Amino acid sequence: NAGVMQNPRHLVRRRGQEARLRCSPMKGHSHVYWYRQLPEEGLKFMVYLQKENIIDESGMPKERFSAEFPKEGPSILRIQQVVRGDSAAYFCASSLSTRTNTDTQYFGPGTRLTVL
């Protein structure tokens, strides 16, 4: 019973390049969340998606960042024209449903992005 999968685990980009981070939710989960974590800080919510829909992107910068969760395949967090300040760990979480409106989120191992 595989958990949340993220790849790559480590990603190095030069300033101005694009970064693509992938997340495969737990089997049966249709809700995906992306968080950013700076060293020695807590997790900052970025975006919440369901299949083919962005539900809440209030935590995601308006420029350069985008996210998708297509009908088939993993969720993608895309950062265009990366800058050094984008260096962080990016975590994906998934949940089963929102029937109760507060379903537990299970996290992946994260992608550590380093911008040179």
Binding residues for other proteins (CB under 8 A): 4, 6, 31, 33, 35, 40-45, 48, 55-56, 58-59, 91, 95, 98, 101-110
Q: What value does the CA radius of gyration of the chain take, rounded to a whole number of Å?
A: 13
Judged by beta carbon, residue 14 or residue 102, the one nearer other proteins is 102
Q: How far is the CB of 102 from other proteins (least distance, A)?
A: 4
* Alpha carbon distances (Å) from 73 to 8, 13, 25, 51, 88: 15, 24, 10, 10, 24
Q: How is residue 69 written in tokens?
A: 């969760």
Judged by beta carbon, residue 45 or residue 64, the one nearer other proteins is 45
Burial class (CB in 10 A: 0-12, 13-18, 19+), 49: buried
* CA–CA gap between residue 34 and residue 9 (Å, rounded): 15
Q: How far is the CB of 12 from other proteins (least distance, A)?
A: 16
Q: How far is the CB of 112 from other proteins (least distance, A)?
A: 8
Judged by beta carbon, residue 79 or residue 90, the one nearer other proteins is 90
Judged by beta carbon, residue 2 or residue 14, the one nearer other proteins is 2
